[in-house]
Structure 1
Amino acid sequence: MKLIIAYIQPHKLNDVKRSLYKAEVHKMSVTNALGCGAQRGYQESYRGIKFEVNLLKKVRIEIAINEDFVAPTIEAIIAGARTGQIGDGKIFVLDLPECIRIRTGERGGDAIG
């Protein structure tokens, strides 16, 4: 089992979801996040005062999957999120030692579904 965490541009969320659905990945958690990377932010001016905005809006997607779905899930995220510009995002793949479905008590791959 793996846990895939992806940070993407907010405007690419619908494209990523569409790609994931085509890859038959339907279960995910999505949260709003703030972060910075190679983009390093930008400067704005408000009433003549300049300030730096270095935490940019991102979307965090978490997907717990069985081993068979790792490669298709990664490819689907890349296909939906890639613009070719700095700030497209990152994908992290982590080992998931345990998963438990609360309703049934199932464990492991059966709990992921």
Structure 2
Amino acid sequence: MKRLAIGLSDFKELIEEDFYYFDKTSFIDEVVKDGAKVKLFARPRRFGKTLNMSMLKYFFDIKEADENRKLFKNLYIEKTESFKEQGQYPVIFLSLKDLKTTTWEEMEKDIKSTVASLFSEYKY
């Protein structure tokens, strides 16, 4: 039985664990066709910003491209010309949503730690 994905922000987990999903992959097509150098995702809290960024990561990332391709089976994007862009680019995914601190100093420390971890992931 399908479940509701309340608070879930990882696209891969959402698809693989068979949660209900409203297909938003037309957004990927929009991003590809738009060609903008910068995108600003201004949405209120809990409106799916991280989930959409996760979806973009799994779509574009060259790392595990063949495995990630399966995530988009039977979704809108699979039927578009933009699907040829799947798995073609290196992607750096950075989210600060899980950083919870009470002071700026703690936040600065956590941001530095997060960036350092990300950096070590791409040492090559």
* TM score, norm. by length of structure 2: 0.28
Determine which structure has greater relative contact order: mean sequence separation of CA pairs < 8 Å that are 6+ residues apart, divided by chain length: 1
The structure that is helix-richer by fraction is 2
The structure that is strand-richer by fraction is 1
